[in-house]
Structure 1
């Protein structure tokens, strides 16, 4: 059985080729046309409803942080290496949700203004005649409504969400109106003109995060070259103006964030300086208040002329003591700096204001040698002999500087003590100056110290503000957002072409499924390679005759009715092929028709074959051996007396059951018998056939399907030729092995096969009868 199925499949594979498939597709041109029209219409509808999409792009260059104007020439290359820009990080920063959320919020991209244009809606954005301000709407609030300009001062508002969807409000311009729990203000723009009156504008407030996610997905960033820091930002949007605004604002927000990051140290420094200024300002105010209170309480007046000299001397020593005190503080600061282990490798501050030029010279020399040593270390290593020698020299110089500073501190202390002692001596001489005068001098000294610190911090604050203002943008715009005014989507031709291709593909796939899943026999080609039974011919399906219902409604066709149609020619071929199967010693006289299933067309073929034989001037009689149903008898409306009566009653003669016709004779099936199989086994059937052999040239027996009941096998003993009728479109190819088995086992005598109802015009490209007009078939009918 598996072998048979394999042969069937191989027969199908060999029988179907590309030309057959193309012709089959052409036969279904109406379905292809209908599908193309349907999908083409859907494609056009898709194009007409799709929103227009515009493309905008901008080009920026990411500045290299190493490109600073104030960089030491010797250290420039190391700075370039450390501070080289990372374009990948900047690209990811452009894509960040934080930046895009800020951009959407600034340009109000979450508020949409749309107007109906045909089947699609077009985005107005900033070109809308009205602007809506949402007063108390949260960023994640979603609301939609339509606004129809009524006149110069009023608009009609119809909510699309909430419980008041059927309510129409008349809203005055610049007035606050409530939509549910939301308050909005409608204001006109400079586009508000008379042309907009009566037109419906759809206003939508979408969630900020949803719009941010949309623009994040729509944003495209491309690095022009792998080694370059030039980025091309692109965006697709329904509004070209909005796309430009979003791109330009994205660059602006990015630069603001970059400047904010760069100024973070300066901001912290400014905060520290401001805090110290507040504290020192309070202390300075307190000192000045104390001085004022002291003078007011002690009612201080000018010292007498006689004490001016002593006071001047005292002030001179006081000034010297202050200067020495300052020098002492600077010297101690230098010593603390030199002895601090954390600053062992740092340069020593120079030009600090120390009066000893020898120390300043040593510090300058030390810093120069240290810079030289650092440069050698960068270019070689710590183990370089020159570096080690410089290290020893630096250590010795540092110790020398420390000793010099110690000596200076000792000298300053001595000078300061001397100045203080001289000050006390001078003050003791001012007998007439109250003791309170010294307290006032102490207060003034504190005032000067606080004032100097305050001025110092003010200068630092200005310097920090200046450096903060000099910070440059991180990205420089090469080409601002721009693009074509023509939309890039939807592509009309592409969508329509896709619809047409889809319209061709759907019926094409359906036809392929029909071809490859259809297991029915439609033509002789489907049977080749599957059976070895002699093939007598194919009877085509005459659709015109079927429409006229000639087969079902008329009695046997006349000779003239068989002259000019395709079916009569097929029966001539069948008649000729039957002659080839006749043997000289035993000519074919009794022809039995059977099939595998009901409705194969046995009665139709037997009747028309009889007409074809009559036309060949043969004596023909039809036997209705289907004694169970009597299809042939019902078709010709024969008398009840027939085959069963003859087989059951020995008194009935042959002439009693023969019914004469205009072209051929017929023996009806007779009365329905309770034992049809037993009657057909009777010898009177053989006697009847033998009698008919002597009277007629051909005896055509219309029998029952084989395999369903035993009648066909029983009556097959009388046959000279058994014609097996296969109905195209009803017989399954999987049943062909069963028919082949009947032939191989010789269950039916001299078996041959006929294919009935073949459709030559629409199956695998066979159009034999389509060319009959070339041989003048049907010409007589036209002449008539």
Structure 2
């Protein structure tokens, strides 16, 4: 006999499908659980909105500046700065100097940024920079300490000061305005500002005092300096702060103080040079006066006689040599003065005067390089770190350069001395012709020569002093402000849309991950698609999860006029059974089995029998679960004898074990009777075949409630009398890994005309797979099972 259905391509029959998860199914699965996404988005979005609402606003202000170079300074077009300007400007060095702690500390002190006044409005803190109702002056306190307290204006005469002492301890003061009070950290005086109005009364203001260096470190972390373009000396100085005006003031004052310091650095060489020139001018003025006095005395002693005219004819030849000797002597004096300056012990670390007129240009260049390196060292020493390896390396370089300058000066002096001696020698030779001149003539010549040397040097130094003063007056800033500090007064952080958007994104991701993980780790059979992916067994239908109804007989959940999903499901099952025909004859003997206990086969037996009775079909239910008798326990009948009695007693007639049920006049039952000790032997009896044959004459349908196939062999024994075996699988009660075993049963034809009934499908928990529904998408609830909105939403 052929055990397979004739219509194998019918839409109610399964075909084994080896497909796995696909994106569309997963999207549908996730979209079905939209209430959890909505809840998650509300939770995370709300949490991040709360975080946004309590986060202090951060504002950004920026300024564009130009670092001046010798090529773009006004003075460079007309004058040479002679070592007082940088030959090249290293932008990286300037950026590091702008971010130095000392410069920021000076900026903090200049705008009093080390004291902040904060007020809380709703959840967020706001900084009252230059808008605070009170101003606190600190008296006799530790400048390096940090502390905080609160001030609450009470009236126009006093405020309430609360000092937090730690460990939930506070100290409260009633402080009069404009009068000093003593606290644990020192004295304070609270002054009222123009913002001290009645609106400020009872408003708690948090006052935070940091040391200037700590505040400088905090602000440096929020300061950024970047080069706008690679080929230009333009920098953008940006500051992020909780108050936009304070950010702008910090940038502007940082630039101002930097320019002041750079001008002072540049003028330091000019000041040293001016001191050197003024000292030499004073000495030469005194010496020149003495020489002119000696010359005046000689003329007076000679009764006003012009000795030069008398001896002019004798010294004409030596004039040129004398002039040469004078020039050489001038250079020699300058070199000796410079050598004396370098040899002084108190000038070993000072800047060397430059632009003094030495004829050796190599010396001027060495001095300029020495001064530049000395200034760099002084900059590095401002932080007081004399052990810095860079400082030590610079000291070595300075010592080497100073020694080189001294050697060069020594060589220059020696060379000038040789030249001078040669010139004097030639002059003496030419003057030999004037030996006939009186001794006074020679004295006059000597005095005049000294006068000319000193006068020439005096005039030269005066010119250099004026030139140095002009250069000092023309010293300009290192930084030119192109765009003053400005920016939007809208906060750059936190970004409301980004913050809340992040919460929404997390709210979408978290349930997605959880649901997908649950989907991945869930090995239970949850929907029809799980069955179709693993089985080729014909599929009869889906039975939705039924509610427990204690008021019905035998757990009958269907009704003849019902339009609920459960009733419709059994109607579809009743129709589909007709397609499982053999030789064109619909099955009359239907056996229900399952893999294990709890699949709902007894429930399906009772409700299918009831549904068949709606068509005026005579139906009998036979309880062949001889070990448990679940069907018998569900149907209340006055049992005296049952199937076990019939199979064991050959004298009994079938009519003696058939009972009417309260379910319907068209439904009878053969109960189990008593639990038999030998069920296998009873089921092998020919009386079972005779019983089914007799019942087929009296009833339209015989529905057998058999045992689970994986527990005992009874189901296989009774299969000989069955025309259709409905294998009941309950949603969530079977592991997908067990489906190959069911497929094996089907392929081996151990059960006659086997088909699958999927029971216990929770229509409220569908999602991944085909879901549950009837009537091509039309609902049959019609108000039979009305629920509140929230029950509908969260019963998924």
Q: Would you call these one fold, judging by a TM-score over 0.5?
A: yes
**Cα separation, 1, equivalents of 2:564 and 2:172:** 75
Secondary structure of residue in 1 paired with 2:20:
helix
Contact 2:574 / 2:611 at 8 angstroms: preserved in 1?
yes
Query: 1:611: Cα distance to partner?
Result: 1.6
Question: What residue is the counterpart of 1:565 in the other structure?
Answer: 564
**Cα separation, 1, equivalents of 2:654 and 2:303:** 172
Q: Deviations over 1:47-80 (max 9, x none)?
A: 321222222222222111244666699999x999
Query: 1:529: Cα distance to partner?
Result: 3.9
Is residue 2:728 matched to residue 1:740?
A: no
Question: What residue is the counterpart of 1:751 in the other structure?
Answer: 754
Cα separation, partners in 2 of 1:164 and 1:515, compared to 1, 3 Å:
closer
Question: What residue is the counterpart of 2:172 in the other structure?
Answer: 168
**Cα separation, 1, equivalents of 2:773 and 2:331:** 122
Q: Which entry has the higher C-alpha Rg, 1 or 2?
A: 1
Is residue 2:670 matched to residue 1:667?
A: yes
Question: What residue is the counterpart of 1:231 in the other structure?
Answer: 235
Question: What residue is the counterpart of 1:262 in the other structure?
Answer: 266
Is residue 2:19 matched to residue 1:11?
A: yes
Cα separation, partners in 2 of 1:255 and 1:688, compared to 1, 3 Å:
same
Contact 2:262 / 2:477 at 8 angstroms: preserved in 1?
yes
Contact 2:558 / 2:607 at 8 angstroms: preserved in 1?
no
Is residue 2:718 matched to residue 1:709?
A: no
Question: What residue is the counterpart of 2:133 in the other structure?
Answer: 129
Is residue 2:23 matched to residue 1:27?
A: no
The range that moved more, 568-577 or 484-493, is 484-493
Alignment of 1:354-503 (within 5 A): 403-404=422-423, 406-408=425-427, 467-503=471-507
Q: Deviations over 1:481-531 (max 9, x none)?
A: 223333344343444444444434443444444444443333323322421
Question: What residue is the counterpart of 2:100 in the other structure?
Answer: 96
Q: Deviations over 1:327-385 (max 9, x none)?
A: 99956635758999x99xxxxx9999xxxxxxxxxx9xx99xxxxxxxxxxxxxxxxxx
Contact 1:523 / 1:759 at 8 angstroms: preserved in 2?
no
**Cα separation, 2, equivalents of 1:137 and 1:471:** 40
Count of aligned pairs: 672
Cα separation, partners in 2 of 1:67 and 1:24, compared to 1, 3 Å:
closer
Alignment partner for residue 313 of structure 1, among 280, 294, 301? Answer: 301
Secondary structure of residue in 2 paired with 1:263:
helix
**Cα separation, 2, equivalents of 1:717 and 1:479:** 99
Cα separation, partners in 2 of 1:135 and 1:561, compared to 1, 3 Å:
farther
Question: What residue is the counterpart of 1:617 in the other structure?
Answer: 616
The range that moved more, 120-129 or 727-736, is 727-736
Question: What residue is the counterpart of 1:333 in the other structure?
Answer: 329
Contact 1:162 / 1:180 at 8 angstroms: preserved in 2?
no
Alignment of 1:482-631 (within 5 A): 482-541=486-545, 546=547, 549-550=548-549, 553-555=552-554, 557=556, 560-561=559-560, 563-584=562-583, 588-631=587-630
Question: What residue is the counterpart of 1:373 in the other structure?
Answer: none
**Cα separation, 1, equivalents of 2:303 and 2:202:** 92
Contact 2:538 / 2:755 at 8 angstroms: preserved in 1?
yes
Question: What residue is the counterpart of 1:152 in the other structure?
Answer: 156
**Cα separation, 2, equivalents of 1:195 and 1:536:** 78
Contact 1:11 / 1:530 at 8 angstroms: preserved in 2?
no
Query: 1:169: Cα distance to partner?
Result: 1.0
Cα separation, partners in 2 of 1:707 and 1:560, compared to 1, 3 Å:
closer
When normalised by structure 2's length, the TM-score is 0.71
Contact 2:761 / 2:772 at 8 angstroms: preserved in 1?
no
Query: 1:420: Cα distance to partner?
Result: 6.9
Cα separation, partners in 2 of 1:227 and 1:597, compared to 1, 3 Å:
same
Secondary structure of residue in 1 paired with 2:535:
coil
**Cα separation, 2, equivalents of 1:185 and 1:413:** 90
Contact 1:113 / 1:201 at 8 angstroms: preserved in 2?
yes
**Cα separation, 1, equivalents of 2:32 and 2:463:** 96
Question: What residue is the counterpart of 1:720 in the other structure?
Answer: 723
Contact 2:60 / 2:492 at 8 angstroms: preserved in 1?
yes
Question: What residue is the counterpart of 1:658 in the other structure?
Answer: 658
Identify unmatched segments of 5+ residues in structure 2: 1-14, 291-295, 309-318, 340-354, 362-415, 445-452, 787-796
Secondary structure of residue in 2 paired with 1:610:
helix
Alignment of 1:186-335 (within 5 A): 186-206=190-210, 208=212, 210-269=214-273, 312-313=300-301, 330=326, 333-334=329-330
Of Structure 1 and Structure 2, which has the larger fraction of its residues in helix? 1
RMSD: 5.1
Contact 2:328 / 2:419 at 8 angstroms: preserved in 1?
no
Secondary structure of residue in 2 paired with 1:656:
helix
Alignment partner for residue 87 of structure 1, among 74, 85, 91? Answer: 91
Cα separation, partners in 2 of 1:621 and 1:560, compared to 1, 3 Å:
same
Query: 1:30: Cα distance to partner?
Result: 2.5
